[in-house]
Amino acid sequence: ETAVFQTPNYHVTQVGNEVSFNCKQTLGHDTMYWYKQDSKKLLKIMFSYNNKQLIVNETVPRRFSPQSSDKAHLNLRIKSVEPEDSAVYLCASSYGRGEVFFGKGTRLTVV
Amino acid sequence: GQQVQQSPASLVLQEGENAELQCNFSSTATRLQWFYQHPGGRLVSLFYNPSGTKHTGRLTSTTVTNERRSSLHISSSQTTDSGTYFCANYGNEKITFGAGTKLTIKP
């Protein structure tokens, strides 16, 4: 049963537009993550938050910005999308350094 | 940074055969986890196995921490086992994934 919820499932947009993806977890976890999965299925960490505090901020373009209102929510905004941003964006959560659970992902297509 | 290496990159088996997937990692801070992703699907946690051996159904995970390796064994494979298997390990406040093993089970 899904406990990490992502919306939308899919999004198609044009180059230069702004998009926002939402993520909510109902597991009571204190740590949330955003991962990007490319066309080769490689998974790369983008951001990690612990109790609303940013603890991991990988080298991603500045047009990507995470937003956390509380420890159950971690959204991702992309200003002015580029074609290389087309990918699946996966949200996940864990309690501290424990087991990680993923959402179903948001597939972004930039045309 | 931490490295996570998976082998083989792809594996094709006949239904009923056993599958053995390997994962080697560079960090000693082990929070080893195995995931399954079927085509177009989300990542499903199979095992959270920092050390030792765990079983569930036809799946067995064995992690040898001091040798920095883990394995996933699938016995009597079925066509529904087809998909991509990832291992991931924790280090430097983040989880690093291997490149995955694409498993194809033929009927």
Domain that holds residue A38: 4-110
Task: Select from A92, A43, A108, A47 the least CA-distant residue to B99.
Answer: A43
> If you write DSSP's letter for every residue of A84-110 in order, what string do you get?
GG-EEEEEEEESTTS--EE---EEEEE
Q: Compute how many other C-beta atoms are within 10 angstroms of the C-beta atom of residue B40.
A: 10
Domain that holds residue B71: 4-106
Chain position carrying tokens 């016995």: B75
Provide the number of structural domains found in chain B: 1
State the nearest Cα–Cα gap between A99 and chain B, in angstroms.
Answer: 6
The predicted structure's pLDDT at residue B29 = 61
- With contact defined as beta carbons under 8 Å apart, do A58 and A47 qualify? yes
Our measurement of the distance from residue B8's CA atom to the centroid of its chain's CA atoms, rounded to an integer in Å, reads 11
Cα distances (Å, whole numbers) of residue A3 to A6, B44, B95, B100, B103: 10, 12, 19, 24, 27
The predicted structure's pLDDT at residue A60 = 87
Chain position carrying tokens 């195995």: B34
Cα distances (Å, whole numbers) of residue B32 to A41, B12, B70, B86: 19, 25, 8, 11
State the nearest Cα–Cα gap between A50 and chain B, in angstroms.
Answer: 10
Q: Do A48 and B94 touch (CB under 8 A)?
A: yes
Instruction: Tell whether B61 is within 8 A of chain A (Cβ).
Output: no
pLDDT band for A35, please (50, 70, 90 cuts).
Answer: very high
Provide the number of structural domains found in chain A: 1
- Looking up residue B95, the CATH number of its domain turns out to be 2.60.40.10
Look up residue B103 and give its amino acid.
Answer: L
Q: DSSP state, B50? A: S
State the nearest Cα–Cα gap between A12 and chain B, in angstroms.
Answer: 17
- Closest residue to A42, CB basis, from B35, B42, B99: B99
Q: Please list the pLDDT of chain B residue by residue as tens digits (107 residues).
A: 778 999 999 999 999 999 999 999 987 767 899 999 987 778 999 999 989 999 999 999 999 988 999 999 999 999 999 999 999 998 777 789 999 999 999 99
- Closest residue to B95, CB basis, from A42, A100, A104: A100
The C-alpha atoms of residue B89 and residue A52 are separated, in whole angstroms, by: 23
- Looking up residue A45, the CATH number of its domain turns out to be 2.60.40.10
Q: Name the residue in chain A with its Cα closest to that of B83.
A: A41
Q: Do B42 and A99 touch (CB under 8 A)?
A: no
